[in-house]
Structure 1
């Protein structure tokens, strides 16, 4: 009995030593975490900014919660913006100069998340024009070659069994890193109905298409009538199994998630929503409430972050983002390497930074918090995963692997015949 107790004590001691070792591995994140701003922590600051904006615009609490009011009152004028953010004269001149070439607009809600004094605020940098946009000599208008993967107007097709229908060019905010900034134009407009009907006819005539993504622009910028019609028409196509909607309104204007919208989505299951949070500051109580409505309507939500210099190219920030997403029931799905779009070179990192972030996630947090790091191959050849190398070599009866901690060991690779 004594030997048995001694054996148990030895095992427990080893387990305790291992627990100490594991805690030491995550301690750098625990230390960094306290200094990473999140939308939930900044709620009081956001409320102050909200009141300033409502006073400036002559709005009420009811107005603030109306997504139509949010769209109508988007900030797109530098003088108006300077009444909310503390902009230097040089910044104002630069924003105005960039605005002459690249359109910009941000919802009152998203402006309320901006630090009024910090020009490097990750929310500001995603929304407010930078002079760097005019200094980009490497970008392309259409680096993914969408014009060469569009068999009929408004469709992009890069894969055997799925395709995109671009349903509008409108967004609640025009992101500075937008992959389709060439489509923004000067007028917000939905895709003409005859083009949408042509896209639906293409889907009907191609039985291999089982998954259709509605995007734009932003699919949630469609009115309920058009969205209901589109989803209903897709429901009638027997071989379409899944409908997806791409939206950033959860980030930039969560007021868009209304009971009416949720009722429509619930009618047309299976429906999935993919959104686009890039920094923990963007996840607020309003976001949590919008996600609650969607999940109660049975809609799963995934996040497609973009790796952006100065926004999230830090392993601790990316991990905190993914943890905050899970708390509001959004599953981290992809981290996209930023595409070389005209005017966005200042956001682009090296691929090695993305690999390092993936190394810092694997084993250091739950699998639910680990998205897939993706490069979009040039000219429309699709998503290509970028992964750390864990398979070192393979032999006749074993492989050699590297664990998340960097331990190298053999693993049996046998088949029982």
Structure 2
């Protein structure tokens, strides 16, 4: 896929090159015509795209092996006709964002932290997104006025210590908007940490500029939670982006989604988690079981399969490279660990525990009076 650089009025600078990557990628259903899909694939993709927006920057599309119909990058962003097959039990709002939203653009599910939605737009629209219904139906960007009720709510609730920017993708916003949001949150004395959930370092690494870093520096501790799902997403460009964020003093974590046909292999997950930590300096944080988003049954594994993968990772990787396998419960129940269980039996303070080598051993508690 090529872009016509003659359309640009001026050469790209480091702070604007990322915008060119977006323009040269897929931004609308009609842009699917520029991709090397067969006529049947293109028709099926257009049909599926009616249910969920399509967007992918050129840098991310360039990672796809178009000769492989099962390519793991392709599977994450190119619409599939299987998305139209909804299964009983799937939900519009799988983790009850709306039920726990006291004011627009804010979710308050847990006492000391809130989700803040500065935008409902993304640099990339993942086909498996659990907020796909909201992102497609709402589709609104950032305005100062839209955030006022949410910021007033945070200011009026001193129990809130952590604000999580999500969406949509907060880092798809311009630097000036990020700086405004950061300043407003930083001015609330009881807020101590800003967490940002983003796929930008993965799919649009050129977006991580000095201007972006400057917009997020100040009193608040800042944690960037990236979303790498496959080791093929780790490139020289993503390495450079994560290095910039690390050198700025931000804490880097990653949450992956367990996806059938993408990363449901212990070898793939092992490489992903090891390279995240050793190459990018990003701590694998969560491995999410697939949420009950509509049309995603073809990408969900069973919990038993996920537990087996998590157990195999535990035996292969350093603890710092291991994510926690979690399920984000419907109805706002929160994320609960559902990984392998190593307790075989217990009687009082006497335990029988299965080790990583498969052997069961006795362990007696010894505690003071």
Q: TM-score range by the shorter chain?
A: over 0.9
Residue in structure 1 matched with residue 153 of structure 2 by the alignment: 202
2:169 and 2:6 map into 1 onto residues whose CA distance is 25
Counterpart of 1:90? 40
Structure 1 141/385 Cα, relative in aligned 2: closer, same or farther at 3 Å? same
Q: Distance in 1 between matches of 2:276 and 2:148?
A: 36
Deviation at 1:392, TM superposition (A): 1.8
Give the SS at the match of 2:284: strand
State the Cα distance separating 1:232 from its structure 2 match: 1.5
Which residue of 2 is the match for residue 377 of structure 1? 329
Contact 2:176 2:215 in 1 (8 A): no
1:312-327 matches, cutoff 5 A: 312-326=263-277, 327=279
Question: What is residue 190 of structure 1 aligned with on the other side?
Answer: 141
Name which of 92, 103, 125 aligns with 1:174: 125
Deviation at 1:198, TM superposition (A): 1.2
Task: Give, in whole Å, the separation in 1 of the partners of 2:130 and 2:74.
Answer: 18
CA contact (8 A) 2:261 2:299 kept: yes
Query: Which has the higher Rg, Structure 1 or Structure 2?
Result: 1
Partner Cα separation in structure 2 for residue 337 and residue 58 of structure 1? 43
Equivalent residues in 2 for 1:10-409, closer than 5 Å: 52-54=1-3, 62=12, 66-76=17-27, 80-81=31-32, 83-85=34-36, 87-138=37-88, 139-185=90-136, 189-326=140-277, 327-409=279-361
Q: Is the 8 A contact 1:53 1:84 kept in 2?
A: no
User: For residues 83 and 230 of structure 1, do their structure 2 counterparts lie closer, same or farther at Cα, with a shift above 3 Å needed?
Assistant: closer
* Aligned-residue offset at 1:264: 1.8
TM-score computed with the length of structure 1 as normaliser: 0.83
| 1:73–1:108 contact (8 Å) kept in structure 2 | yes
Per-residue displacement from partner, 1:212-232 (whole Å, max 9, x unpaired)? 101110010122122112212
The answer to whether the Cα contact below 8 Å between 1:98 and 1:129 also exists between their aligned partners in 2 is yes
Unaligned runs of 5+ in 1: 1-51
**Paired residue for 2:368?**
416
CA RMSD after TM alignment: 2.2
Instruction: Identify unmatched segments of 5+ residues in structure 2.
Output: none
Judge conservation of contact 1:103–1:186 (CA < 8 Å) in 2.
no
Please tell me whether the aligned partners of residues 57 and 123 of structure 2 are also in contact (alpha carbons under 8 angstroms). yes
Bigger helix fraction: 1
70 and 268 in structure 1: CA distance in 2 versus 1, 3 angstrom threshold? farther
Q: 1:176 to 1:56 in 2, by over 3 A?
A: farther
**Separation of aligned partners in 1, 2:31 and 2:182:** 38
Q: Are the structure 2 counterparts of residues 97 and 84 from structure 1 closer, same or farther at C-alpha, using a change threshold of 3 Å? A: closer
Secondary structure, in 3 states, of the residue corresponding to 1:266? coil
Work out whether residues 284 and 321 of structure 2, in 8 Å CA contact, stay in contact via their aligned partners in 1: yes
The Cα of 1:162 is off from its aligned counterpart by: 0.8
Alpha-carbon separation, structure 1, partners of 2:362 and 2:256: 35
Aligned residues: 365
Greater displacement, 124-133 / 380-389: 380-389
Is the partner of 1:185 in helix, strand or coil? helix
Distance, in Å, in 1 between the alignment partners of 2:223 and 2:260 is 29
1:143–1:397 CA distance, 2 compared to 1 (3 A): closer
> Are the aligned partners of 1:242 and 1:270 in contact in 2 as well (CA < 8 Å)?
yes
Contact 2:32 2:42 in 1 (8 A): no
